[in-house]
Chains A and B, each alone.
Chain A
Amino acid sequence: MKTNNNKIKEKELIVKSKTNNLSEIRDFVYAAASDAGISADVIENIILAVDEACTNIIKHAYKSFPEGEIIIKIKYSDKKFTIVIIDHGAPFKPETIPDPDLQKYYLQHRIGGLGMYLMKSLMDEVKYVSVPGKYNQVMLSKNLNVSH
Chain B
Amino acid sequence: MLAGVLILLARNLPAQVPPDLATERAGYTAWLKTAPNSPLAAIANQTVGTGLRLGPPDSDIPLAGLPEHQVLPGGTTLMVKGPGFERPISRGHPFRIGRYALYLSGNGTGTTLTVFGDSSAKDPPGYYDYDPSLVFRGPLMRLEHPQGVRVLASDGMDAEATEVGSFSIPLGGGTQLRVLRIPVAGSEESDLEIFFQDETNDKGSYPAGRFVSLIPAAGGQFRLDFNRARNPYCAYSAVYPCPAPWRGNAIHAEIRAGERYSK
A and B interact: no
